[in-house]
């Protein structure tokens, strides 16, 4: 029933069986569409690079080496993203996780966006109020939010390329302080807002934060940057296991 | 034709191809990413109102609006125009694409910012995209979907129920560490505790709590910034830019 080949059961706005709609074939088709677009884009870019390379004194071998170096260095980070994505499969379904968490967005932004969207409908992400209709609303909000990044990129890139001076005059101190503070506040208030709900919510939040903090300290002490890469996935999976144990007490 | 003119023409053709097709592919990607929720909203028979979507989007804009614009501005000087269209569709820019580009440039011994460096980073991002798509498809699309179908219902329920506090616990710590701005983090903590307490006793406030916390923190962090290090634009040290894979 969770397989993409299965026929979608009739949609029911009030059902909490999210995966019945989240794994629908249409959503799979859209996800595969995004995959194909990225493949086509990569092929076009590689072809263009191959044609331009000799003119800047770059051999085809050097281009191939660059491709391979990029591929190898992406292996670790990609598998780290896979780990996080798998943990969220039951919350958003496979197609949405592939597109939103695996590709365009990130787990932190998308989870926050879904929670904020659910809240505006008086519901919660993942609880008894997380119905098929709320999932649809959350996915719509996540996708529109993600679209804003793409639209900003489409509009700003040509402007920046022309060297638009107005954009470069933005006070760098504001750029340094405000977005960072806003992000930390968004995650902080969403996390702390979960604490009054039950002691198990406290366990979930605190164990995840503690594991992440420990991994960050270890990564710095033994100077192994890959630990930082895997920290998010490890923290989420371990603290889900701890939380599961807590629910059994 | 002189050699310089020939180089100029070849690179002009590269820029033209990548910016034209970069834009076209990004717009098609945008279409597919919006088609999925459009199907759920309009054709799946779910009871989802447009007004509700507008409200949810407005709430998101209040929280993330600044990031939508700032992120492309931040990455443009590092990525260059052609890679912008790759990066913002493939995602995971700071933790995967930038390291891939830097390693490729180091491997063949070219400097970032040069034309050769740009071509190396485009090729590296293509390589990274290939690996990323393959591992997502195999381990999430196929194996992950199978895994979810065999794990017991009570575990599925636990994950769904407690995913938000679990993700946010780790993400908050990661954001604080990578931003390297303890003052902003402290302000965010104080503001969040106040906002959550108010929302706890006065339920209707809960609808706006995230936006209020974010805007209040951003304003306070700016007003109360360390004026010694962040006083004027010229004083900002280059290496003070946050490294994080936060957004």
Q: Write out the DSSP string of B53-108.
A: HHHHHHHHHHHHHHHHHHHHHHHHHHH-HHHHHHHHHH--IIIIIHHHHHHHHHHH
pLDDT surpassing 90 at residue A128: no
Judge whether residue A180 has pLDDT over 60.
yes
Q: Which two tokens stand for residue A27?
A: 């959503």
Confidence of residue B241 (pLDDT cuts 50, 70, 90): very low
Exposure pattern of A87-107 as b/e (b: 16+ CB <10 Å)? bbbbbbbbbbbbbbbbbbbbb
Nearest to B48 among A104, A137, A229 (CB): A137
CA distance A186 to B138: 33
Q: How far apart are CA B169 and CA A239, in angstroms?
A: 9
Chain B: nearest CA to A175, how far in angstroms?
Answer: 7
Nearest CB neighbour to A41, from listed B25, B96, B217: B25
| Interface touch B136/A116, C-beta < 8 Å | no
B205 pLDDT above the threshold of 80? no
**Considering only alpha carbons, which residue of chain A is nearest residue B141?**
A94
Nearest Cα neighbor of A186 from B135, B67, B230 is B67
* A228-241 mean pLDDT: 90
Residue window 102-131, chain B: list those with CB within 8 Å of chain A: 103-105, 107-108, 110, 115-116, 119-131
pLDDT the model gives residue A13: 81
Nearest CA among B205, B119, B87 for reference residue A38:
B87
Local confidence band at B81 (pLDDT 50, 70, 90 cut-offs): confident
pLDDT at position A34, please? Answer: 94
As a whole number, mean pLDDT of residues A4-33 equals 79
* pLDDT higher than threshold 60 for residue A212: yes
pLDDT score for B244: 37
pLDDT confidence tier of residue B99, bands split at 50, 70 and 90: confident
Measured in angstroms, the CA of B155 and the nearest CA of chain A are apart by 7
Question: Which of the residue ranges A26-35, B108-117, B187-196 would you say has the lowest mean pLDDT?
Answer: B108-117
**Look-up: residue for tokens 């397989």?**
A3
In the block, which residue shows the tokens 């636990």?
B158
Q: Which of A67, A197, A234, A150 is nearest to B126 (CA)?
A: A67
- pLDDT tens-digit readout, A28-64: 999 999 999 999 999 999 999 999 999 888 999 999 9
Query: Does the structure show a pLDDT above 70 at A141?
Result: yes
- CB contact B233 to A (< 8 Å): yes
Q: With an 8 Å Cβ cutoff, are A236 and B170 in contact? A: yes
Measured between alpha carbons, how far is A246 from B161 in angstroms, rounded to an integer? 13
What is the distance between the alpha carbons of residues B2 and B118, in angstroms, rounded to a whole number? 23
> Which of B213, B207, B211, B176 has its CA nearest to residue B194?
B213
Question: How many contacts, defined by CB atoms under 8 Å, are there between A and B?
Answer: 606
Model confidence over A85-95: pLDDT tens digits? 998 998 999 99
Integer Cα distance of B9 and B1 in angstroms: 10
pLDDT, one tens digit per residue, over B14-39 is: 989 999 999 999 999 999 999 999 99
Q: Are B147 and A188 in contact (CB under 8 A)?
A: no
pLDDT at A32: 95
Other CB atoms within a 10 A radius of the CB of residue B18 amount to 25
Residue A2 has pLDDT above 80, yes or no: no
Q: Which residues of A touch B39 (CB under 8 A)?
A: 24, 26-27, 30
CA A66 centroid distance within chain:
26
pLDDT for residue B1 = 54
Residue A106 has pLDDT above 90, yes or no: no
Q: Is B177 left (phi over 0), alpha (psi -120 to 50) or beta?
A: alpha
User: Would you say residue B237 has pLDDT above 50?
Assistant: no
End-to-end CA distance of chain A: 31
Question: Given this model, what pLDDT does residue B75 score?
Answer: 83
CA dihedral B130, B131, B132, B135 (to 10 degrees): 120
A248: burial class by Cβ within 10 Å (0-12, 13-18, 19+)?
A: exposed
Residues 6 or more apart whose Cβ sits within 8 Å of residue B36: A26, A27, A30, A31, A95, A96, A99, A139, A143
Calpha distance B46→B18 (Å, rounded): 40
**Per-residue pLDDT for B123 more than 90?**
yes
Q: pLDDT-based confidence at B230, cuts 50/70/90? A: low
Average pLDDT, chain A: 88
Averaged confidence pLDDT in chain B: 85
Check pLDDT > 80 for residue A9: no
Q: What would the DSSP string read from start to end of B145-173?
A: HHHHHHS-HHHHHHHHHHHHHHHHHHHHH
Burial classification of residue B152, based on how many CB atoms lie within 10 Å of its CB (0-12 exposed, 13-18 middle, 19 or more buried): exposed
Q: How close A5 gets to chain B, by Cα (Å)?
A: 11
Considering only A4-18, A125-139, A171-185, B179-193, which range has the smallest mean pLDDT?
A: A4-18
- Of A186, A204, A205, nearest to B214 by CB-CB distance is A186
The predicted pLDDT at position B115 comes to 84
Q: What is the pLDDT of residue B242?
A: 41
B239/A158: higher pLDDT: A158
Which of A118-132, B23-37, B66-80 has maximum average pLDDT?
B23-37
Rounded average pLDDT over B78-106: 86
Contacts 24+ apart (CB under 8 A), B2-7: B6/A55, B7/A55, B7/A56
- Residue A166: pLDDT band with limits 50, 70, 90: low
What does the domain layout of chain A look like in residue ranges? 18-165
Confidence of residue A139 (pLDDT cuts 50, 70, 90): very high
Probe site for chain B from A38, A111, A147, A183 (most B CB atoms < 10 A): A183
In this complex, the residue of B74, B95, B164 whose CB is nearest that of residue A125 is: B164
- pLDDT score of A188 more than 90: yes
**Among the partner residues B67, B140, B161, nearest to A102 by beta-carbon distance:** B140
Indicate whether B232 pLDDT > 70: no
pLDDT in tens, B131-176: 999 999 999 999 998 998 888 888 888 888 899 999 999 989 988 9
A164 band by pLDDT with thresholds 50, 70 and 90: low
Q: Which two tokens stand for residue A3?
A: 């397989």
* Predicted local distance difference test score (pLDDT) of residue A167: 61
């Amino acid at each position: 029933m969770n397989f993409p080949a299965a026929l979608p059961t009739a949609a029911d706005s009030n059902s909490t069986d999210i995966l019945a709609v989240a794994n629908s074939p249409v959503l799979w088709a859209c996800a595969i569409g995004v995959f194909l677009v990225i493949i086509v884009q990569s092929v076009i870019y590689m072809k263009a690079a191959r044609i331009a390379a000799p003119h800047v004194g770059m051999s085809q071998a050097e281009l191939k080496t660059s491709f391979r170096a990029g591929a190898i260095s992406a292996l670790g980070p990609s598998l780290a993203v896979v780990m996080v994505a798998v943990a969220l499969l039951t919350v958003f379904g496979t197609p949405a996780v592939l597109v939103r968490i695996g590709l365009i967005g990130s787990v932190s932004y998308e989870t926050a966006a879904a929670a904020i969207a659910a809240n505006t409908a008086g519901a919660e992400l993942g609880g008894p109020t997380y119905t098929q209709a709320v999932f649809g609303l959350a996915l719509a909000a996540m996708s529109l939010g993600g679209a804003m990044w793409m639209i900003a990129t489409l509009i700003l890139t040509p402007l920046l390329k022309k060297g638009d001076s107005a954009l470069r005059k933005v006070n760098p101190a504001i750029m340094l302080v405000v977005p960072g503070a806003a992000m930390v506040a968004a995650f902080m208030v969403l996390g702390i807002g979960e604490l009054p709900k039950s002691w198990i919510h406290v366990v979930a939040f605190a164990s995840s934060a503690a594991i992440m903090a420990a991994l960050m300290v270890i990564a710095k002490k033994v100077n192994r940057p890959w630990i930082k890469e895997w920290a998010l996935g490890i923290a989420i999976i371990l603290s889900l296991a701890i939380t599961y144990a807590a629910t059994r007490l | 034709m002189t050699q310089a003119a020939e180089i100029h023409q070849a690179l002009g053709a590269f820029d033209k191809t990548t910016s034209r097709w970069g834009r076209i592919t990004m717009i098609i990607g945008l279409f597919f990413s919006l088609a999925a929720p459009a199907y759920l909203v309009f054709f799946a028979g779910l009871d989802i109102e447009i007004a509700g979507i507008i409200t949810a989007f407005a709430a998101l804009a209040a929280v993330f609006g600044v990031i939508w614009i700032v992120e492309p501005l931040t990455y443009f000087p590092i990525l260059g125009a052609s890679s912008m269209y790759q990066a913002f569709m493939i995602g995971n820019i700071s933790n995967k694409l930038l390291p891939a580009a830097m390693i490729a440039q180091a491997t063949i011994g070219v400097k970032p910012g040069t034309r050769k460096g740009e071509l190396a980073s485009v090729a590296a991002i293509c390589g990274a995209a290939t690996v990323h798509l393959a591992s997502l498809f195999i381990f999430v699309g196929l194996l992950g979907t199978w895994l979810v179908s065999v794990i017991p219902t009570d575990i599925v329920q636990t994950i769904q129920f407690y995913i938000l506090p679990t993700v946010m616990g780790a993400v908050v710590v990661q954001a604080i560490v990578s931003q390297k701005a303890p003052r902003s983090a402290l302000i965010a903590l104080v503001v969040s505790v106040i906002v959550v307490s108010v929302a706890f006793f006065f339920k209707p406030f809960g609808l706006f709590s995230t936006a209020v916390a974010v805007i209040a923190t951003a304003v306070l962090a700016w007003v109360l910034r360390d004026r010694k290090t962040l006083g004027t634009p010229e004083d900002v040290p280059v290496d003070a830019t946050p490294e994080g894979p936060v957004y």
